[in-house]
Amino acid sequence: MVDLKQVRFLLIGAGNVGRRFLGLVARKEQVLRERAGLQLVLSGVADSSGIAANPEGLDLEWILALKAGGRGVAEIPDWGQPGVAALDMVRGVPVDLLVDASPANMLDGQPGLGCIELAISQGTDVVTANKAPLALAFSRLDELARAHGARLRFDATVAGGLPAVNLGRRDLAVADVHRIEGILNLTTNYILTRMAAEGLGFDEALSKAQQEGHAEADPSLDLEGWDAANKLIILAHSVLRYPASLDDVEVEGIGGVTPQALREAAANGQQIKPLAVAEREDQGYRLWVRPVALDAAHPLASLGPQQMGIVYHTDISGVITAAIVEDTPQPTASAVLRDVVELYGRAAGGTP
């Protein structure tokens, strides 16, 4: 393979998505070389235990085995540094790319936000799967990136492995999108869909979601609609060029949806789905998240419990719908890798 490009990166967050991303980097090493001309080198990783850093590259299998054993990266011999903060790693280890897979902290976006700001201000590209920093500070991060010539990619932040952001910001770049409808949160769609299909009560459906890893221990952000609202904000900035903030989103959770309401909807040939919508208004867009009864013909009405989807209503590209079946966080991790390949790889498929 001619001219192999080496990309050194830091990873913050070694949980569901971060670990799977490292797993994909290992599993796809040859494909990355052959199809994209890329060699990805992990120069540092941070989790709650501290960091492990080696500019020359850490052993991915070592880290994956360690995390599989429930231990922290700070325990890695030679390179582990217990208690050191991710921010210090970003400051101290020069790389091409920062990958943020840290937990979404809606209070202040930390530690992701600080790490992303520092990386960008150092001219380092960023690929993030973490919604919070973007939902809280998209415009500031965008301007910072332009000012420092860094690139920020975030396809993994909306609808998991579905290239919802890419489709909107790239394939619809010169189209005018007057309406976006999305089922952007898996947990709430899973719960409502199983309640409707199996007549389960809310609590029962929730516990099943938690058992199967489709809901977190504290699912309040999902259930109350704020996770979907975050994603809507990211779409508003990146696809609609509409600089909205969370305060601009009318948010209603799914807590009020009763089995009876689901039965009545079904009797009318409808499905109640957790919808996130951006619709053109005179001055901009109206943004809202709430459960809505969709007619059977609606492209999102038939989405199953493990699906997310989006509909773009455009002026010149028709109405485009995209949906994904995502039964683990792996597709989300693959969206992080997709962004990395877009930033550094040779164009894949067809000609250069």
Question: What positions carry a catalytic annotation?
Answer: 231
**Residue 342 binds a second copy (CB under 8 A):** yes
Per CB under 8 A, contacts with a second copy among 223-282 are 237-239, 241
Which DSSP category does 306 fall into? Answer: T
Q: Pinpoint the alpha helices (H) of 2-130.
A: 16-27, 29-36, 60-68, 86-92, 112-121
Q: What share of the chain is helix, strand, coil (3-state, %, to 5)?
A: 40, 25, 35
Per CB under 8 A, contacts with a second copy among 7-26 are 24
Which DSSP category does 156 fall into? Answer: G
Judged by CB under 8 A, the stretch of 45-53, 54-62, 244-252, 314-322 that binds a second copy is: 314-322
Q: Which is nearer to a second copy, 65 or 296 (CB)?
A: 296
Least distance from C-beta 14 to a second copy, angstroms? 18
- Rounded CA-CA distance 245/233 in Å is 6
**Residue 349 binds a second copy (CB under 8 A):** yes
Query: Which listed residue (4, 31, 65, 68) binds a second copy by CB under 8 A?
Result: 31
The letter for the amino acid at 237 is: H
Least distance from C-beta 192 to a second copy, angstroms? 17
Q: Which is nearer to a second copy, 24 or 254 (CB)?
A: 24
Q: Per-residue b/e over 34-55, b at no fewer than 16 CB within 10 Å?
A: ebbbbbbbbbbbbbebbbbbbe
Per CB under 8 A, contacts with a second copy among 102-131 are none
Query: Which listed residue (161, 225, 291, 305) binds a second copy by CB under 8 A?
Result: 161
Is 126 strand, coil or helix?
strand
CA 53 to chain centre: 25
Residue keyed to tokens 């890419």: 166
**Residue 167 binds a second copy (CB under 8 A):** yes
Q: Can you give 211-233 as a three-state secondary structure string? A: HCCCCCCCCHHHHCCHHHHHHHH
Instruction: Decide if 333 contacts 24 (C-beta within 8 A).
Output: yes
Per CB under 8 A, contacts with a second copy among 320-339 are 320-327, 330-331, 333-335, 337-338
Residue keyed to tokens 């290239």: 163
- x/- letters, 138..157, toward a second copy (CB under 8 A): ----x--xx--xxxxxxx--
Task: Provide the binding-site residues for a second copy, judged by CB under 8 A.
Answer: 24, 27-28, 31-32, 35-36, 142, 145-146, 149-155, 160-163, 165-176, 237-239, 241, 297, 299, 302, 304, 314, 316-327, 330-331, 333-335, 337-338, 341-342, 345, 347-352
